[in-house]
Chains A and B, each alone.
Chain A
Amino acid sequence: MTTPELEPLPVLPDANNPHPVAASSHLGIVDLLSESVTALTSRPARTLLTALGTILGVAALVATLGLAKTAGNQIVGRFDELAATEVSIAPESRGFGSGNRTISVIPWDAGDRLQRLNGVVAAGTKSDVDVGSDLARAVPVIDPLGQTEFQIPVIGVSDGTFAAVRSTLETGRFFDVGHNERADNVVVLGPGAATRLGVSRVDNTPAIFIGERAFAVIGILKDTAREPDLLSAIIIPDQTARAFFGLSAPGEVHVDVEVGAADLIGTQAAIALSPNSPDQLRVSVPRSPKAVQEDVEGDVNALFLLLGGISLLVGAIGIANVTLVSVLERTGEIGLRRALGATPGQIARQFLTESASLGALSGLIGTSLGVLATVVISATRDWTPVLDPWLPFVAPVLGALIGLIAGVYPSLKAARMEPVQALRSF
C-alpha cells in the first residue's frame, strides 16, 4: 500500500538514520481496519449498546420490507377464485334518491350476447320484479287460522343466470331457453321461499300462486355461490316477468368468466351490450390480485418504513453521540497517535472507519434480526416468507453508510485536536 508523496523528501544518507525510509507518515488499509476492529472489540458491551439503535432500525426496515412482501404474496396465495371470476354489469344511474333513474338499458338477450365472448363461462340477466301488492301462496285456500299468503320477492332471470351465479339444485331442474322464450308460467324456488310456501318436492309439479296467477314449480335451489338473495326468492323467467309483471328491462347482468379473463371481459361486455354508449353501463370487475398486493405492500411499507427510517436516524445519532464521547475520552490516545506519527487525516480516517465498521456490524446484525423476524412471524401465521434477494446485501451497506455519516463530525473533531494539548489530557 503506497500512496504517492506530495513532495519529494530530502533523505540524506546519514549514519544517524539507521533506516532511511521515505519519512512520510503511512497507515496501511490492513492496519487501519485492524485498529478500528481492535478499538470496537476492546469494549464489546459499549459497542453493542452504541449499535443498538442502528440494529433496531435496520431490523425494522428489513422486517417491514420482508413482511410486506410476504403478506402481499400471501394475498396472491389466497387468491379468491370465486371473486376473481365474477363480472357484473348494471346500467349507470344518475341523480339521487327518488330522482335516481337509469340512463341506459340492458338488452333482453344480454346473456346470449356475452356468452359468445371468449372467456365467458356463463352469463345471464337478473332483475327484481315488481309484483305490486300480489302475495304468494302455495294453494288457493283461505285458512282463517294460519298464514298462507306471503310477501316473497320475485326475481326474473334468464336461463344462463343459474350457471353464471353458480347455483345448485336441491331437486327438479332449472328452466331453459324454451321456458323463457315462451314466457312459461314456471318458477324455481329458493330454499327459503320453498320452506315458507311448504313446497319440498317437485315430482308432482306443485303449483304456487303469485296474486291470482298460477305457476308450476319445476325446481328448488340448494345453494348459490353468488347473489344470495336468490335463496329466499321466487325465481321466474324474465320473459315471464316481462309478460305478466311489466318488467321493462333486465336489471343487471351476471357473468362467470374464466380465471384471468375478468378485466378483458369487463371492457368487452359493455361494448357487447351497448355498442353505442358502452360508458353508460357500470361494469364491476374484481380487483386484480396484483393491484391488491401492491396496495398492501404500499400501505404496510409507508408506515413501517417511516418508523424504520426514524429508528435509523435515532441509531445514527446514537453512533455519532457515542463516537463523539469516545473521541473525547480517547483524547490522550489521539495525542499519542499523533506523537507516534499519525497525521490528522489518519486520525480522522481511523474514527471514520470505526464508526463505519460499527454501522456495518449493526446493519449485519439488524438484517439477521429482520430476516429472523420475518421468518418467525411467517411461521406463526403459516405463511411462506418472501424476501427480496437484494435486501440482505443492501441493508448492511446502509448500516455502514449511516455509521460513516454519523462518524464525520466526531472524526473531524478528533483530527483537529492539537497533539500537544491532547497528550496532556491523559
Chain B
Amino acid sequence: MSAPVVELQGVTRTFDATPPVEALKATNLVINDGDYLSIVGPSGSGKSTMLNVLGLLDSPTDGTYLLDGTDISRLGERQLAGLRATKIGFVFQSFHLLAHRSATENVMLAELYSGRDRGGRRPRAIAALEKVGLGHRLDAFPPTMSGGERQRVAIARALTAEPSLLLADEPTGNLDTVTSEAILELFDDLHAAGLTVAVITHDTDVAQRAERTINIRDGIVTETARAAS
C-alpha cells in the first residue's frame, strides 16, 4: 500500500481575532488512494476551512499535513501553488468558468500553471471533456450552457491535470435534482475508475453517495463509521 493521499496529523487552523477563532481543532484524518468521502456539517462548522486546508489554499497554523507523503509546511508559495496545479482538482458550487472562453479553453486553463507541455493541452482538454460526456460541446461558451453542462466543464477542468485528489465544494448546490443526480453519477464513475474524491456538502443525499462521511461541528472532526456501499 502506498502512502495515503492525505494525512492530517493534529492539524489546527486558528484565525486571528479577539478572541482567536479555532476553525479546525487538532484534526487527524487519513484519505487513502481511491477513497470517496464526503465532508458534512452545518455552516460555520469549519467545512470551508477544511476545504481550504486540504486544497492548499490555506495553511494550518499547527500540525502536519502530508499530501502524497510530502510535508507541505516545508514548501514555499511557488511549490504550494505547483502542488495545487498538479495534485488537486477543484470543483466549485458556482463552477467558476470564464464566460468569454469556450469549454475547451476553460479546461485548458487548468494546465496553465502546471508546467506541462503546451502542445498537449488541447488534446488533453478534449479528452477530459469527452470523459465527462461533453464531447459535443467543445466550443460552446459557458453562458450558452446549462448548469449541469457547466459543472461538467468544471469537473473536466479538475480532471485534466490528473490530480491525486478531487476536491468538490457543494458541487450540486446550484443544480436541480435531476442534474445533481447526473453529476453524482459522474463522481461515482470517476471514483470507480480509481480517483480519490472528497465532496464537501451539507446535503445528506450527496453525502450518502460517498463511502466515508466526515462530520465537522465547531471545528471538531468525527467520522461516521459505516460499511462501504
Contacts and interface: CB of A to CB of B under 8 A. Distances in A.
Interface of A: 5-7, 9-12, 14-19, 21-28, 30-31, 35, 38, 42-43, 332-333, 335-346, 419-420, 423, 426
A24 B115 contact: yes
B81 A28 contact: no
Interface string B96-117: 1010110001000110111110
A344 B3 CA distance: 30
B78 A6 contact: yes
A38 B98 CA distance: 11
A16 B33 contact: yes
A23 B109 contact: no
Interface in B1-33: 2-3, 5, 33
Nearest to A419: B57
Given A336-B92, A420-B58, 7 more contacts: A6-B76, A12-B3, A17-B68, A35-B112, A38-B101, A38-B105, A426-B94
Contacts of B84: 25, 338-341
6 contacts: A22-B82, A25-B85, A38-B101, A42-B100, A337-B113, A339-B55
A16 B82 contact: no
Contacts of A346: 81, 113
A16 B3 contact: yes
A17 B76 CA distance: 20
Contact of B77 (A9, A30, A340, A344): A344
Given A23-B86, A341-B81, A426 B96 contact: yes
B76 A335 contact: no
**Most A-side CB within 10 Å, residue of B2, B75, B79, B81:** B81
B96 A423 contact: yes
- 6 nearest A-B pairs in the assembled complex, by CB-CB distance: A341-B85, A42-B100, A25-B81, A341-B113, A26-B115, A23-B82
A338 B81 contact: yes
B113 A14 contact: no
**Most B-side CB within 10 Å, residue of A16, A19, A22, A420:** A16
A340 B82 contact: no
Contacts of A6: 76, 78
B44 interface: no
Contacts of B157: 340
Interface string B69-90: 1100011111101111111101
Interface string B142-160: 0000000000000001000
A130 B60 CA distance: 109
A26 B82 contact: yes
Contacts, number: 140
B213 interface: no
B74 to A, nearest CB: 8
B118 interface: yes
Nearest to B109: A340
Contacts of B180: none
Nearest to B76: A6
A343 B81 contact: yes
B57 A333 contact: no
A9 B68 CA distance: 13
B5 to A, nearest CB: 6
Interface residues of B, number: 45
Interface of B: 2-3, 5, 33, 48, 52, 55, 57-58, 68-70, 74-79, 81-88, 90, 92, 94, 96, 98, 100-101, 105, 109-110, 112-116, 118, 157, 162, 164
Nearest to B48: A420
A340 B78 contact: no
A23 B113 CA distance: 10
B156 to A, nearest CB: 13
Nearest to A15: B2
B3 to A, nearest CB: 7
Given A339-B57, A340-B84, A344-B77, A12 B118 contact: no
B170 to A, nearest CB: 11
B159 to A, nearest CB: 12
A351 to B, nearest CB: 15
A378 to B, nearest CB: 42
B85 A42 contact: no
A426 B96 CA distance: 7
Contacts of A333: 96, 98
Contact of A341 (B5, B82, B105, B164): B82
B92 A426 contact: yes
A336 B88 CA distance: 13
A23 B83 contact: yes
Nearest to A38: B101
Contacts of A10: 70, 74
B126 to A, nearest CB: 18
Contact of A16 (B68, B100, B105): B68
Contacts of B68: 12, 14, 16-17
B57 to A, nearest CB: 5
Contacts of A345: 77
Given A332-B96, A423-B96, A17 B114 contact: no
A426 B77 CA distance: 24
A336 B96 contact: yes
A335 B90 CA distance: 11
A9 B118 CA distance: 23
A23 to B, nearest CB: 4
Given A9-B79, A12-B70, A341-B81, A21 B58 contact: no
A16 B101 contact: no
Contacts of B162: 18-19
